[in-house]
Amino acid sequence: MKTFSLSNRLAVVLLAGALASPLAFAQGVFEGSGEVSDPNCVGDGCGYVPADQAAQGSAEQGFSYGENSEVASADSASGEQVPADSAVSDSTLADSAKVATMNIDEEDDDIPHYIAENAAEYRARKEGFSRGVQFGVRVSGGANKSFGQKSGDWNFGPEFGAGLMARLPLGEIFGVATELNYSYRNYSYESESDYGEYEATIKEMLFEIPVMGQFVVDEDGLFFALGVNLGLKMSGESEFKQTITAEGHKSKDKRSNTIPTVGVEIGGLADIGYVVNRWLVLDVRVVQNFTNLLDLDLIAESTLMHSKLYTMHVSLGATLLL
């Protein structure tokens, strides 16, 4: 059995000591040496300093060491450590952000007085009926048709009008309106008999004075009105043509102003309209006269005697509010 010689044993001891020395110094801290990691150094390659030097440096910079020599952060402004229970939770931060970004106007949308105020502004824009007494200019166009005794031979006739309007509101949904209109009307007549053919036309111009009460149906601008209409004739003319056939011969005759009309007309009025905006109003109006169109005391045409013509006037109007 081979044994190590003295020289071989000495070589092994020297080799082991050479390997142990670097490992011991690599640890950097010997138990009981009183050294700690340098708190002023971050990263690899940091060295070690005596514990009293580390404590002095950490006190100046706001660090403290626990039992395991771990560094704890402190409040840089006051030098006092921030307690853990003072941290703000994520939910609190979210609520704060929600409150900070909340739109106050969105909250006000549901408040009753806000809704009422908007409704009043909307009504003023749509109807234009909240500014007190109002004035406007109205133009209209339509047609007329007569009803009553011997009215079957009277055709539809055109008519046009233009005038001034005034309205006085007496509440949120009610108002009184009146107008002064200049109107032109045309009436036409055609009939046949065993003796011949007859044609007649009546043209007249008159002032119309409607007085009505207006009721607002809703805030969208829809309204209707009821009232009376007074017509005052300014001028009028008529023309009567007849063609007589006798024994194979035809004779024609034409006479003027033999069909007089009454000077005053009175009728009932119904109106329905829509306020497009605070400047424009559209309406459909129906006037039914209660007086006879013809003046029977002065009429000169036998074929039209004893006629009772109660005319109806239907017109579409547009009013420009001033």
**Count of Cβ atoms closer than 10 Å to residue 81 Cβ:** 12
Give pairs for 100-109: CB < 8 Å, separation 24+: none
Q: Can you tell me whether residue 185 is helix, strand or coil?
A: strand
Strand partners for 35: 50
Q: Which helix (H) or strand (E) holds 187?
A: strand 174-192
pLDDT, tens digit only, all 322 positions of the chain: 444 455 556 555 555 555 554 444 444 444 445 566 666 665 555 666 666 665 565 555 544 444 444 433 434 444 444 444 444 445 554 454 444 444 444 444 455 544 555 665 555 555 555 457 889 999 999 999 999 999 999 999 999 999 999 999 888 889 999 999 999 999 999 998 877 899 999 999 999 999 999 998 876 689 999 999 999 999 999 999 998 887 777 888 899 999 999 999 999 999 999 988 888 999 999 999 999 999 999 999 988 988 999 999 999 999 999 8
Q: Closest Cα partner for 160 from 201, 113, 205, 98? A: 205
Question: What length does the chain have?
Answer: 322
In whole angstroms, how far apart are CA 279 and each of 94, 127, 135? 50, 9, 11
Q: Count the helix, strand and coil residues of the chain and give each as a percent rounded to the nearest 5.
A: 20, 45, 30
- For residues 291 and 268, what is the distance between their CA atoms, to the nearest angstrom? 11
Phi, psi of 92 (to 5 degrees): -65, -40
- For residues 110 and 184, what is the distance between their CA atoms, to the nearest angstrom? 53
Q: Are 37 and 45 in contact (CB under 8 A)?
A: no
Q: Which helix (H) or strand (E) holds 190?
A: strand 174-192
Token pair of 192 as six digits: 């046949």
Q: Can you tell me whether residue 6 is helix, strand or coil?
A: helix
**Count of Cβ atoms closer than 10 Å to residue 101 Cβ:** 7
Q: Which helix (H) or strand (E) holds 57?
A: helix 51-61
**Amino acid letter, 314:** V
User: For the whole model, what pTM was predicted?
Assistant: 0.60
